[in-house]
Structure 1
Amino acid sequence: MNPGGRQILAVRPRCRSPGRFPAIRKLAYAALAVASAAAPAAEAPGTTVAAATAATLPDVVVSATRSEQRRFDAPAAIDSVPVDPLRSATPLVNLSEVLAGVPGVAVRDRQNYSQDLQLAVRGFGTRSTFGVRGVRLYVDGIPATMPDGQGQASTADLANASRVEVLRGPFAQLYGNAAGGVVQVFTPDPPTDGFTGRASTGLGSDGQWQAGVALAGGNDRLGGSLDAWTYQTDGYREHSAARRYQLNARVVAQPASGTRVSGQFNYFNQPLAQDPLGLTRAQAEANPRQAVAPATQFDSGKTVEQAQAGVVVDHQLGGTDSLSARLYGGTRKLYQRLGFSGAAPTSSGGIVDLDRTYGGAALSWSRRTTTAAGLPLLWSAGLEANGMRDGRNGYVNQDGTQGALRRDETDTATDLGAFAQFDWTWHPAWQLVGGVRASRVRLGIADHFVNAASPDDSGHASYGNVSPVLGLVWHALDSLNVYANLGRGFETPTLTEVAYGPGGAGSNLGLQASTSRQGEIGIKWQAGRQRLEAALFDADSHDEVVPLSNNAGRTVYQNVSGVRRRGLELGWRGGFLDEVGTPGQGGGSRIEAGLAYTWLDASFGDGFVNAQGQAVAAGNRLPGSARHSLAADLSWRPAAPLTLGAELRADSRVYADDLNTQAAPGYAVINLRAGYAWRIGPTRLYLFGRIDNLTGRRYLGSVIVNEANGRYFEPAPGRRFFIGLRAAL
């Protein structure tokens, strides 16, 4: 994957050693209504689910060097998580369901669909109180992160994904602003030999219900796919109900030899997402299901409607050169009721009404050749431009209804970038990789609501950075790779963080971008069905953005220096007790197990004064980050149709504030799952069920970092279940 789109290249030779789109919404609802009538194509008799999956989910990645290669050979810490609806015993609604077993990644389902997931990579992104910060998101080559660095994970279509890649470490910096890590979701190409389809439904605790349909077909020149799904829940806590609808379409064409055109359209509608707000520690211990009074008084929550279209073109120029281009655009409408009135003259209001348009384009070139010694050499370079424009209004929240205007402005952000990268195997056992990216980000505010109580917040700021990366890989053995990388990156403040100046006067466009220096050393070993990976990393950041003050709903931010993130990642996966007779695969494993452990030491190197005017001591831990995280899973196939599994998730204590006075205690939970796959004639079916938090443990699943009212904690659900059925006919 490159910034200009997806490249389909040969694997590198292994060296030794609210209602703005009514027509679309009606189409989505209609598709969901006929989910049970989906008619997929039949597979050849005798093909097992495991064999079909292995044939379509190769262990390849594209994020590190922007060309397809084996995950084992990638010169960086990277994971590729396969997603197959006919083997995944989970609803496939949130990224937290598939990324929990990736070392270095902290992803927490807050059970709050008004605020999205909390997603952090190696401690980058922990400060975000809503959305995703510090981590770049992509879906099929199209950015899901805006130019100012704020992203949304909720629009990813996991129900129809084929894999999710997570790139960690210095090489993520080549993706530009806020690239503490890169998460990319890939959907499968349409079939080239007929028609396929799938229908699914499921239900679970707390009023969960899901249904969906996926249809696809084509030939070797033209293919298309369409999927639609819905998910709804009453919520674990009071005032936390949500409803979601999503429609995705994709067309892949090969009009000429060496040319591939991929077009996509995505529609996401969330007409209901209540926000129960955070709880104090005492409130969470007394009744974890409760919502605080302001949540119901002001009807806190939001509605979202987003539509996006994009096209990616890949063209092969002869045998060595290729071009890739990307063009996309979209709109997003958000209406959010916050948990306060915002009636004060100096406030920006307790209701946010945002109307966004965004888009971008990119072009990249790659050359795959060999040196005089016949060893591989890959060059790539590219340009990209992304922009967004927000019409943002704020109103008084009169107990859940819209009141007087308190904010009216137009916010803009643009991101221009250029990169160059190489991958040079200069010796059969040695590989040198490197690159550089130049980025320019511009933020602008045009304030249209100016009076004696509301000063003019207009202004603009520009941020520039050059991010070099250099790495070395030693192919010590056919089964062992050792690598080391160094790099530098940056992260600009978001439009939200520059909105208000100190003392409530003007904007805060003088806020600086954070810069970081990163390094890592890692090993990768694999033999047979066993795979082991480990990495040590160290990142020093300067001008980190943290809160300075909060007044009448206006949070002001400041820069602090000396933030350090260092740690250890360890990942292992293996298979035991081989099966025999799996067609085309030579067998599988009756027992498969995995382990992911992360030790993260993230702390402030310098002291500073926080939003409450209190001194934060040097050495305090970065809030939102656990020192120890562990994920383990075990799958057992006692018989070919049946799979049983268990999962362990554990985190150590997580501080909620910069002072380190409030914390969510450590916890460990066990989940159980089961799946049963069988056929009725040409129909493949998969019945699954799961029990999460088997022991019903009470714990605080996430924290709201530096929450201004002291309500830092979001309790996780107790014991809950989900049962689902998926069919491919």
Structure 2
Amino acid sequence: MRIYLIILCYLITLSAIAQDRDSIERLDEVHVKAYFNRQPILRLPSTVGFLSRRMLDEQQPQSLVSAVNSIPGVRMEERSPGSYRLSIRGSLLRSPFGIRNVKMYVDDFILTDAGGNTYLNALDAGGVSQITILKGPEASVYGANTGGVVLINTSDEDSSSIRGSLVGGAYGLFQQNLSLQKKWNKVNLTVNQAYQKSDGYRNNSALDRKYVQALPQWNYSDHASVKAIMLYSVMSYHTPGGLTELQFLANPRAARPASGSSPGAEDQKAGIYNKTLLAGLQHEINIGSKFKHVISYTGSFTDFKNPFITNYETRKEQTAGLRTYLQYSGMPLLSIPVEWEIGYEGQRTTSDISNFTNLGGVKGALQSADQITNNQQFVFSHVSFDINKRLILEAAASINFYNYDYGASSLSISELSTVKFDTQFMPRLAMSYKLSEKVALRASTSRGYSAPTIAEVRASNTVINTNLQPESGWNYETGLRMSLWNNRLYWDGVLFKFDLTDAIVRRLNETDEEYFINAGRTKQRGIESQLMYWIVPEKKTGLLRSLQFRNSYTFSSFSFSNYQDEDADYSGNRLTGVPRHVLVSSLSMRFPKNYSLFVQHNFTSSIPLNDAGTTYAKKYHLLQAKASYQFKVSAQTNLSFFVGADNILNQLYSLGNDLNAFGSRYFNAAAKRNFLAGLTVAL
């Protein structure tokens, strides 16, 4: 921590030097769309993390990992290129790969399916313009989850542009991105196209992804609009598999080798092949001056193949979803502004899942074939009172219904068995109070609930586990936000307490097949802090045209409070997969003639790798940098170049550990020091 004290003193000195007339001009206040309307973040009753277009552009473009990990309380992992995991204020025990227990939307359309799975890796990182993350249970408005909600935008409204980029780097990295945003009188159109490939740092870790998305919007009257989405992604990536600590230290680039009668990852050509098509249509209309109605439909189809060590799995998944709400905004009582929404969301996902013998990446004999249909729906209501423009009182609730039908693929729908979970009432109460014009206090309590996903009910052991129960719990938090000195400094701090019952955790049997169990109760206490400070606000003179310091800190005191698995008692152990301390700091600098430099440091403390707490991944320091230069080719054309470096300190670390791995194969080595470069043309 000594280095951070030195940096802090240095920044204070720079700030004092920079107090000229340009540097005290008022900066724009931060606004985010966390619920139904865009709001000033200072008064928002929820704990929210956000990444703007500028923040994302500062990062390296081929992945969202380093940007997302700059948000306190959020951890994103990449075991190999394209293999993402994401957790918010919790463990990754439920996610051997993919994203679970987090609800996600892209451009207001539902990305998460009814089975609880989200194919975030189908999206191209370069096509994302903004990310908003609501941390903690938000089931009252966005459906069943205990982790949080991620809202992704892929277009900048009210702008017209053409933008193309090329990126190349170490380990065969190549990324091409083309985006078109066009605005006519009543029509907005955004089209994103991208291609990305990489050989990967490790053997058997190559990635190939093709992606296209169109987002048209027609404002056919002053009061109504229609928006649509079409997204298609074709992706394949190889999975190198976990290594033991000795293998990890001896040759971190190796794929999982053969062991006994079990073949290695390269022998089995282990990997993921995913084709996903998502389409949706949304209609929005203002009815008079006080009412608004929104209705949207989202449909998706996924063709998924996964040759693995033990078998070859195929899935055909079809999802249909509907979300609608009616909003009232007015002052019906004592001249107090009121906003009230009442709505419904429902989804249905049908999955045909088959497992075959894996003959070196080729399907062999059929082992099992099942059909699972998940049905998830909820009704919700949300009301907010703004009293004297100082106190916001917010109440929300939802009633959640969830069931799934299952059976052999040869059975008809009427012959399938049904598992139905109890109807769940999910309340949320929150408040925000302005202590002054620049400081606001907030507090909230909410109940989270998350049913097991398809991949947990029917894991790689191909057994449908009807005994697996949802997890649920209450979350309590209080926080303080401040925006000082003409918005030059923004700070957000929060303390939270979350007690989870029937937590779902992953286990592996002696044949390396996974299954899931309920692990009793967990106790999760945390502190999150986020700071943004314009040491030198943007100006047109001087050597240093702008300097922004950003810092986030996460303290996670997470443990099992009551967890016994057969004869083993893990009560009191740290929650698997969660580092206790994460500290991320960055400097963003701009110089004359549009030169810029971005530097980010990430410290992550040790991470328990099994429930017994006997093995830990070591702490690590990640340092990355990106230098850019932009100039005008013509009045309408901008050209920019960048060079970047990742893992500058050349750390040996695992960014995505296999938790509770059989045979102690916990480690997935991340790339050592590497470089990349790229150029962007904007019209």
Matched, 1:93 2:49: no
Matched, 1:521 2:478: yes
* CA drift at 1:125: 4.4
Which residue in 1 is equivalent to 2:570?
617
* CA drift at 1:560: 2.3
Distance 1:159 1:112, change over 3 A: closer
Distance 1:190 1:526, change over 3 A: closer
Distance 1:220 1:172, change over 3 A: farther
* CA drift at 1:178: 2.1
Which residue in 1 is equivalent to 2:611?
658
Report if the CA contact (8 A) 1:441-1:462 is conserved.
yes
For residues 234 and 481 of structure 1, the distance between their equivalents in structure 2, rounded to whole angstroms, comes to: 48
* CA drift at 1:58: 7.7
User: Residue by residue, what CA displacement relative to the aligned partner does 1:401-431 show, whole Å, maximum 9, x if unpaired?
Assistant: 2110011111111111110011112344322
Superposition CA RMSD, Å: 2.4
Q: Which amino acid aligns with 1:718?
A: K
Report if the CA contact (8 A) 1:616-1:658 is conserved.
no
Report SS of the residue matched to 2:265: helix
Matched, 1:71 2:41: yes
Which residue in 1 is equivalent to 2:557?
601
Distance 1:249 1:362, change over 3 A: same
Is there any run of 5+ residues in structure 2 with no aligned partner, and where?
A: 1-25, 258-263
Which residue in 2 is equivalent to 1:104?
73
For residues 702 and 173 of structure 1, the distance between their equivalents in structure 2, rounded to whole angstroms, comes to: 31
Report if the CA contact (8 A) 2:129-2:156 is conserved.
no
* Aligned residue among 299, 304, 323 for 1:362: 323
Which residue in 2 is equivalent to 1:122?
89
Q: Which amino acid aligns with 1:336?
A: N
Distance 1:170 1:360, change over 3 A: closer
Q: Which amino acid aligns with 2:434?
A: H
Q: Which amino acid aligns with 2:247?
A: Q
Q: What is the number of residues matched between the two proteins? A: 645
* Aligned residue among 341, 345, 348 for 1:384: 345
Matched, 1:290 2:254: yes
Is there any run of 5+ residues in structure 1 with no aligned partner, and where?
A: 1-53, 341-349, 451-455
For residues 390 and 578 of structure 2, the distance between their equivalents in structure 1, rounded to whole angstroms, comes to: 38
For residues 464 and 588 of structure 1, the distance between their equivalents in structure 2, rounded to whole angstroms, comes to: 59
Distance 1:171 1:301, change over 3 A: closer
Report SS of the residue matched to 2:155: coil
Which residue in 2 is equivalent to 1:627?
580
Report if the CA contact (8 A) 1:651-1:667 is conserved.
yes
**Where do 1:454-469 residues align within 5 Å?**
459-469=418-428
Distance 1:449 1:596, change over 3 A: same
* Aligned residue among 669, 672, 677 for 1:715: 669
Distance 1:626 1:650, change over 3 A: same
For residues 593 and 680 of structure 1, the distance between their equivalents in structure 2, rounded to whole angstroms, comes to: 31
Report if the CA contact (8 A) 1:89-1:688 is conserved.
no
For residues 76 and 168 of structure 2, the distance between their equivalents in structure 1, rounded to whole angstroms, comes to: 23
Q: Which amino acid aligns with 1:250?
A: L
Matched, 1:240 2:210: no
For residues 607 and 298 of structure 2, the distance between their equivalents in structure 1, rounded to whole angstroms, comes to: 39
User: Residue by residue, what CA displacement relative to the aligned partner does 1:197-229 show, whole Å, maximum 9, x if unpaired?
Assistant: 111101001100011211232313112122211
User: Residue by residue, what CA displacement relative to the aligned partner does 1:80-127 show, whole Å, maximum 9, x if unpaired?
Assistant: 211259x824443333142121111111222243xx312111115453
Which residue in 2 is equivalent to 1:533?
492
Report if the CA contact (8 A) 1:273-1:301 is conserved.
yes
Report if the CA contact (8 A) 1:190-1:225 is conserved.
no
Report if the CA contact (8 A) 2:525-2:557 is conserved.
yes
For residues 373 and 175 of structure 2, the distance between their equivalents in structure 1, rounded to whole angstroms, comes to: 37
**Where do 1:535-614 residues align within 5 Å?**
535-547=494-506, 550=509, 552=511, 554-581=513-540, 590-609=546-565
Matched, 1:727 2:661: no
Which residue in 1 is equivalent to 2:242?
278
User: Residue by residue, what CA displacement relative to the aligned partner does 1:42-82 show, whole Å, maximum 9, x if unpaired?
Assistant: xxxxxxxxxxxx99x9832222x422211222111112211
* CA drift at 1:713: 1.0
Which residue in 2 is equivalent to 1:683?
637
Report if the CA contact (8 A) 1:174-1:419 is conserved.
yes
Q: Which amino acid aligns with 2:322?
A: A
Report if the CA contact (8 A) 2:481-2:491 is conserved.
yes
For residues 635 and 91 of structure 1, the distance between their equivalents in structure 2, rounded to whole angstroms, comes to: 13
* CA drift at 1:726: 0.5
Report if the CA contact (8 A) 1:578-1:590 is conserved.
yes
User: Residue by residue, what CA displacement relative to the aligned partner does 1:153-180 show, whole Å, maximum 9, x if unpaired?
Assistant: 1123432322100111344653122241
Which residue in 2 is equivalent to 1:216?
181
For residues 508 and 658 of structure 1, the distance between their equivalents in structure 2, rounded to whole angstroms, comes to: 21
Which residue in 2 is equivalent to 1:133?
100
Report SS of the residue matched to 1:362: strand
126-135 vs 302-311, which deviates more? 126-135
Distance 1:186 1:443, change over 3 A: same
Which residue in 1 is equivalent to 2:261?
none
For residues 91 and 548 of structure 1, the distance between their equivalents in structure 2, rounded to whole angstroms, comes to: 35
Which residue in 2 is equivalent to 1:42?
none
Matched, 1:512 2:512: no
209-218 vs 251-260, which deviates more? 209-218
* CA drift at 1:562: 1.8
User: Residue by residue, what CA displacement relative to the aligned partner does 1:266-309 show, whole Å, maximum 9, x if unpaired?
Assistant: 00001x31110011111111111111221011110121111111
Q: Which amino acid aligns with 1:315?
A: I
Matched, 1:155 2:122: yes
Report SS of the residue matched to 1:603: strand
Report if the CA contact (8 A) 2:155-2:181 is conserved.
no
TM-score (structure 1 length as normaliser) = 0.85
588-597 vs 543-552, which deviates more? 543-552
Which residue in 2 is equivalent to 1:326?
296
Distance 1:223 1:472, change over 3 A: closer
For residues 435 and 314 of structure 1, the distance between their equivalents in structure 2, rounded to whole angstroms, comes to: 22
Report if the CA contact (8 A) 1:76-1:169 is conserved.
no
Report if the CA contact (8 A) 1:522-1:536 is conserved.
yes
Which residue in 2 is equivalent to 1:200?
165
Report SS of the residue matched to 2:247: helix
Matched, 1:310 2:266: no
Distance 1:171 1:621, change over 3 A: same
Distance 1:141 1:530, change over 3 A: same
126-135 vs 485-494, which deviates more? 126-135
* CA drift at 1:554: 4.5
Which residue in 2 is equivalent to 1:182?
149
For residues 539 and 588 of structure 1, the distance between their equivalents in structure 2, rounded to whole angstroms, comes to: 44
Report if the CA contact (8 A) 1:126-1:625 is conserved.
no
For residues 135 and 651 of structure 1, the distance between their equivalents in structure 2, rounded to whole angstroms, comes to: 22
Distance 1:428 1:199, change over 3 A: closer
Report SS of the residue matched to 2:342: strand
Distance 1:543 1:59, change over 3 A: same
Q: Which amino acid aligns with 2:185?
A: D
Q: Which amino acid aligns with 1:378?
A: E
Report if the CA contact (8 A) 1:544-1:561 is conserved.
yes
* CA drift at 1:500: 6.7
For residues 515 and 578 of structure 1, the distance between their equivalents in structure 2, rounded to whole angstroms, comes to: 45
For residues 559 and 187 of structure 2, the distance between their equivalents in structure 1, rounded to whole angstroms, comes to: 52
Aligned-residue sequence identity (percent) comes to 23
User: Residue by residue, what CA displacement relative to the aligned partner does 1:238-269 show, whole Å, maximum 9, x if unpaired?
Assistant: 11011111001111101122101111100000
Matched, 1:61 2:14: no
For residues 446 and 267 of structure 1, the distance between their equivalents in structure 2, rounded to whole angstroms, comes to: 30
